[in-house]
Structure 1
Amino acid sequence: MLYKKRSMILFVLDILIVCFSVGTSYLFRYDFKIPSDQVPQMLAYASFTSLICGLMMIYFKMYQRIWRYASIGEITSLLKAVVLGWLISYGITNYYINEQVEPSVAVRSIETMLLSMGGIRFLWRMISKSAKPTKDKAKVLIVGAGDCGVLIAREIMSNAASDLTIVGFVDDDIHKYRMHVLGKPVLGNRNHIEKIVSEHSIDEIVIAIPSAAKSELAPVISMCKNTGAKVKIIPGIHDLIAGKVSVNAMRDVDLEDLLGRDPILPDLKGIADYVANKTVLVTGAGGSIGSELCRQIIVFRPTTLLLLGHGENSIYSIEMELRSRFPDQKIETIIADIQDRSRIDDVFRRFRPNVVFHAAAHKHVPLMERNPAEAVKNNVFGTKNVADAADKYGVERFVLISSDKAVNPSSIMGATKRIAEMYIQTMDKQSNTKYVAVRFGNVLGSRGSVIPRFKQQIASGGPVTVTHPEMVRFFMTIPEAVQLVIQAGAFAEGGEIFVLDMGQPVKIIELAEDVIRLSGFEPYTEIPIEFTGIREGEKLYEELLLDEEAIAKTKHNRIFIGKPLGINRVELELQFKRLEKAIIDEKDAVRDVIEYIVPLYKDVS
């Protein structure tokens, strides 16, 4: 129906309602026998009220509202328009006629007008809503019957095009149990989720508790993931405050939510002291860890942030992101290969960084097993080039991003990272630069990591491939790991290997099952899981410390220090010369030298 036509119909209906309300008020007052001397008064009152109320309805834009989405705001505006119009018309009528309109007639007329006008509009609203079929809509259970849950439910219910329908709510507040919110029942608490999903054939669960800490959300998510329903979540309290909470703000629950670790509160003063107003260089700035380092370092307002990387596309991407968020920050982008010693020297000579975060590395275990010389060139000699330049040009702190795979390594990648650790520890003994390494495990969502691969396999209908049923790994989120890396840099005295608390190790098979369930499928039945066997260089579990490395606490409860081991620099440099020669020979020669440098390295390929 055209807007103008609909508005005209409503306007005519309102005028008829006013006339009807005034007429019936007189009829009821005089027992359906209106005295002839009251008829002029009735006509005058009806005329004035129709005119004034009509104008008030136009003034309050009552004909510019879509009544399908009517709420308290529309009711309030209708009340204002009718009451104000009635008061003015009652006063004008009494002013122009000899005998005043009886109060009982006036009160009855306003009651009838409000009931009739409101009734027609909400009847229109009900008809409009019921006109849309709901048989194909997904059934939704909302966890949280608070402000956020109500906002989400109202938006879903008011959107005729939505493919969702609300079945009810779950809330731990016992006072809400069996109550109704927006006409939908509160069906129980979190412990009833699995039963409710089964009884009501729920298709989707929306977790709408943005104020809850991650540690509180994790058990709720764990309950939801076992139901077979697809699970979505509202991001956080900041979105609620900013008014961004909507159906579009919902996102799929991911493994970061399941880890249940709350955000880290860094020592802002300590970080600001060594990063703020300094020239900071991040190598590998286009990678998963490097780009997140840039995002978090820039908040502390370094004088200049240097983004160094080998891939122009990834460096361009992080540069554009940072410039849009921090247009006043000085950023320099540098395309360089850390294996090019003269180029790295030139970068340090030109920009004179005060702090270096060295994240550039080859990290893919099976690929490096097949290309050991490239792993050595990048992870060993690339690190050596950057570390030497840091010493030559007076860098204050050098932070190496290392890996748990450097501990008792079974892979070329892990062994090369261990050699890089050993080199910077020897550098620390002879340099004014504070050299440290930060060692941690796998990060969720990084390039080449297991989670993106699982999601791709699920999107293709499976199977999801897992190497071994007993394979376990430590996991943390990228922002979480980077926050701790930056914090560890503040504790640097020189020569330390900082070890991050990775929480409890996770079985990869359980990880795969969780990703499948969170995607709305049932593992093994809807999405099969296949075991492919341990790959080259992999081991069933990773460690964070060598047996010889005693551990000490820092001021941060999730950062520990491994005691530096005595490393003979002269011997190490001799072995580096052997490595340089081995690179041009067969790959077995490279492995032999690596095994000599890192006696705990065991070639399992």
Structure 2
Amino acid sequence: MVLRYLPERAFLTIFRAVAISALIWTTLAFFSGSYGGSGVPRTVPFIFGFLALFGTGLSRFAVKWLLSKPEVSLKRRRTLIYGAGRSGSALANAMRDAGMAHILGFVDDDPKLHSRDVNGIRVHDPKNLSSLIENLGIEEIVLSVPSATTDEKLRIGASLAKLPVSVRILPAASGLSTGRFDVQMLEKLDIAQLIGRSAVPPERELIEKVVRGRRILITGAGGSIGSHLAGLVDSYAPAELFLLDNSEFALYRVWRSLHNARQFYPAHIVLGSVAEPAFLRRFFAKHEIDVVFHAAAFKHVDIVEQNIAEAIRNNALGTRNAIEAAYNSGTKTFVLISTDKAVNPSSVMGATKRLCELLLRSYAGLAERKRTGQKFLVVRFGNVIGSSGSVIPLFRDQIARGGPVTVTHKDVTRYFMAASEAVELIVQSAALSEGGETFVLDMGEPVSIYRLAREMVKLAGLTVRDNDNPDGDIAIEFSGLRPGEKLHEDLWYDTNATQRSAHSKILMVRGQTNAHQRAEEALIQLEKAIGELDEGALRDLLFDLIAELNGPRVDGQVVSLPLARGQDAN
């Protein structure tokens, strides 16, 4: 073994080797007739074993101690690690090996670990943090609680933000969950890291099945999901990558962020709009696309409510154009990226996405009946942390300006997921698909937006101004729900229709529908009405058509109707 990296378990190997050698030596002495009596004393094997074990083990571990003793450096900060579990212990080893920290202790909420040693490091009670910081001269606390719930992370983060030390956290993307560490990725404590769930390492073979050696098209490539999809695809050796968006600057920014493009495979910027069917027909006719990730959509609920005609043209008709072009050109896999707002939609954005879901799954049925071998699937999930429409950047800006922080309603909740995790699950869903499914990503528990606002204020080192604390720094005001907004979002229509897929974080709904003609008719009516009706009448027509396609509801659930009527409860 390389002595510098000699593990503690090597002592067991040394012990076994010494024990075996002592046993062999004793056996030879016994059979040679020199064991006991006037021959070799019976105590000699024990003395030999002790000296051999002491000399062999001590010499190696002494060399390891000398070689691994880090150089004295001003960069080594006096550090506590919050979380004494497996991840915290591994993080401590990584930080010590990197010579970047002097780990003076763990802090953990588990009372069973208090005053005990983990990996040679003492575990302390969080209640004693203030005295620990003062007595030990702590400069930094590193948060490592990947298995904690969102509420627990928010509570811990808010408590640490009040302390006179810097607080950092190791993001899930650093490889903490897989044991591969890059401690240089430690980041300043941020709310996005706290509400992001502990990510499950992606199954690389599933992603490679979809991406490697394939011609990939990403529509809406300049957006939050599209740009992260581009980054993921870039890491898995596609044959060719096409980035489509109607924003020149967004496309250039994404294209410049690709690390492997131009060197290992060609990547193309495609400036255009999915709302132009002729443009899409020419594009698909010219390029043999294998996989389409359709992320192009107007997603900001409030803006979409004020621009209904453009939302229908881009979201609904644009998706129809992309699906038709892909189907007619023989594209093997088409992934529609949808939203939780498509379930029982109350907003124009959600209604257009619901119409897209119905249309796509009807094309999946068409492909199955005609045995084209094409797969059409929907992937549905909630909000992306830190996206352009997310509340987190808004709250951060409001706090920086001194408040107030505006929350629509005290009881409003939303699902959140990190963009990096979302795109990994989207691609893995495509690998699991047989065609026609709606995959719903496991978003964990919904987060209270009011609670989120309060914790963000605390994380900024400030206090909330309210009735209990009239002298606080930042006030939180309730602006009221905007048109199209709901208090709570749903991820599916009927929980009984969901089933687990082969991936622990991906749920699946299989819906058979023959609503293809009805969805097409709805789109034709909307397309015609865009030039004839005002915005209010257009919105009414959209929701009337969605209600007709979804079918009647009782207590918020869709009532199953005969398939001949084109109903779909999923």
Question: Structure 1 length normalisation: TM-score?
Answer: 0.67
Tell me if 1:280 matches 2:228. Answer: no
Alpha-carbon offset, residue 352 of structure 1: 1.4
Question: What CA distance in whole angstroms lies between the structure 2 residues aligned with 1:321 and 1:491?
Answer: 28
Tell me if 1:495 matches 2:443. Answer: no
2:397 to 456, 463, 466: 456
**Structure 2: which 5+ residue stretches go unaligned?**
1-65, 83-87, 466-471, 553-570
Alpha-carbon offset, residue 568 of structure 1: 2.7
Question: What CA distance in whole angstroms lies between the structure 2 residues aligned with 1:200 and 1:539?
Answer: 50
1:519 to 449, 454, 460: 460
Q: Is the 8 A contact 2:323 2:360 kept in 1?
A: yes
Alpha carbons of structure 1 residues 141 and 458: separation in structure 2 relative to 1, 3 Å = farther
Tell me if 1:594 matches 2:531. Answer: no
Which amino acid in the other structure matches residue 309 of structure 2?
A
Alpha-carbon offset, residue 438 of structure 1: 0.6
Q: Is the 8 A contact 1:422 1:567 kept in 2?
A: no
Question: What CA distance in whole angstroms lies between the structure 1 residues aligned with 2:211 and 2:360?
Answer: 20
Tell me if 1:528 matches 2:475. Answer: yes
Question: What CA distance in whole angstroms lies between the structure 2 residues aligned with 1:446 and 1:325?
Answer: 24
Tell me if 1:372 matches 2:303. Answer: no
Q: Is the 8 A contact 1:323 1:329 kept in 2?
A: no
Which amino acid in the other structure matches residue 330 of structure 1?
P
Question: What CA distance in whole angstroms lies between the structure 2 residues aligned with 1:193 and 1:405?
Answer: 45
Query: Percent identical across equivalent pairs?
Result: 35
Which amino acid in the other structure matches residue 249 of structure 2?
N
Tell me if 1:575 matches 2:525. Answer: no
Question: What CA distance in whole angstroms lies between the structure 1 residues aligned with 2:70 and 2:322?
Answer: 68
Matches within 5 A, 1:422-461: 422-431=358-367, 432=372, 433-461=374-402
Question: What CA distance in whole angstroms lies between the structure 2 residues aligned with 1:203 and 1:536?
Answer: 49
Tell me if 1:505 matches 2:446. Answer: yes
Matches within 5 A, 1:288-437: 288-323=224-259, 327-431=263-367, 432=372, 433-437=374-378
Question: What CA distance in whole angstroms lies between the structure 1 residues aligned with 2:70 and 2:486?
Answer: 68
Alpha carbons of structure 1 residues 539 and 331: separation in structure 2 relative to 1, 3 Å = same
* Corresponding residue SS for 1:265: coil
Question: What CA distance in whole angstroms lies between the structure 1 residues aligned with 2:138 and 2:458?
Answer: 12
Q: Is the 8 A contact 1:549 1:564 kept in 2?
A: no
Alpha carbons of structure 1 residues 340 and 191: separation in structure 2 relative to 1, 3 Å = same
Q: How many residues align?
A: 456
Q: Is the 8 A contact 1:443 1:477 kept in 2?
A: yes
Alpha carbons of structure 1 residues 337 and 216: separation in structure 2 relative to 1, 3 Å = closer
Task: Show the counterpart of 2:29.
Answer: none
Task: Show the counterpart of 2:427.
Answer: 486
Which amino acid in the other structure matches residue 466 of structure 1?
V
Task: Show the counterpart of 1:207.
Answer: 142
The Cα offsets for residues 469-520 of structure 1, whole Å up to 9 and x where unpaired, read as 0001111111111111111111222221111111111110111122222222
Task: Show the counterpart of 1:191.
Answer: 126
Alpha-carbon offset, residue 197 of structure 1: 7.6
Question: What CA distance in whole angstroms lies between the structure 1 residues aligned with 2:504 and 2:215?
Answer: 29
Question: What CA distance in whole angstroms lies between the structure 1 residues aligned with 2:551 and 2:418?
Answer: 28
Which amino acid in the other structure matches residue 557 of structure 1?
S
The Cα offsets for residues 69-103 of structure 1, whole Å up to 9 and x where unpaired, read as xxx99x999xxxxxxxxxxxxxxxxxxxxxxxxxx
Matches within 5 A, 1:81-100: none
1:257 to 185, 189, 193: 193
Which amino acid in the other structure matches residue 475 of structure 1?
F
2:206 to 243, 251, 270: 270
Alpha-carbon offset, residue 151 of structure 1: 7.9
Q: Is the 8 A contact 1:461 1:527 kept in 2?
A: yes
Q: Is the 8 A contact 1:194 1:224 kept in 2?
A: no
Q: Is the 8 A contact 2:358 2:515 kept in 1?
A: no
Which amino acid in the other structure matches residue 273 of structure 2?
D
Question: What CA distance in whole angstroms lies between the structure 1 residues aligned with 2:95 and 2:105?
Answer: 8
Question: What CA distance in whole angstroms lies between the structure 2 residues aligned with 1:449 and 1:577?
Answer: 33
Question: What CA distance in whole angstroms lies between the structure 2 residues aligned with 1:442 and 1:396?
Answer: 28
Judging by fraction of residues, say which structure has more helix: 1
Which amino acid in the other structure matches residue 501 of structure 1?
D
Task: Show the counterpart of 2:159.
Answer: 226
Alpha carbons of structure 1 residues 579 and 202: separation in structure 2 relative to 1, 3 Å = farther
Task: Show the counterpart of 1:543.
Answer: 490
Alpha-carbon offset, residue 276 of structure 1: 1.5
Which amino acid in the other structure matches residue 386 of structure 2?
G
Alpha carbons of structure 1 residues 296 and 139: separation in structure 2 relative to 1, 3 Å = closer
Question: Structure 2 length normalisation: TM-score?
Answer: 0.71
**Structure 1: which 5+ residue stretches go unaligned?**
1-71, 78-121, 130-137, 158-165
* Corresponding residue SS for 1:418: helix
Q: Is the 8 A contact 2:365 2:514 kept in 1?
A: no
Which amino acid in the other structure matches residue 589 of structure 1?
A
1:562 to 487, 501, 509: 509
Bigger shift: residues 142-151 or 413-422: 142-151
Q: Is the 8 A contact 1:216 1:260 kept in 2?
A: no
Alpha carbons of structure 1 residues 409 and 268: separation in structure 2 relative to 1, 3 Å = same
Alpha carbons of structure 1 residues 382 and 216: separation in structure 2 relative to 1, 3 Å = closer
Question: What CA distance in whole angstroms lies between the structure 2 residues aligned with 1:76 and 1:462?
Answer: 46
Which amino acid in the other structure matches residue 496 of structure 1?
E
Q: Is the 8 A contact 1:231 1:518 kept in 2?
A: no
Alpha carbons of structure 1 residues 512 and 277: separation in structure 2 relative to 1, 3 Å = same
Task: Show the counterpart of 2:7.
Answer: none
Q: Is the 8 A contact 1:142 1:149 kept in 2?
A: no
* Corresponding residue SS for 2:222: coil
Q: Is the 8 A contact 1:438 1:498 kept in 2?
A: yes
Alpha-carbon offset, residue 329 of structure 1: 2.2
Matches within 5 A, 1:56-135: none
Q: Which has the larger radius of gyration?
A: 1
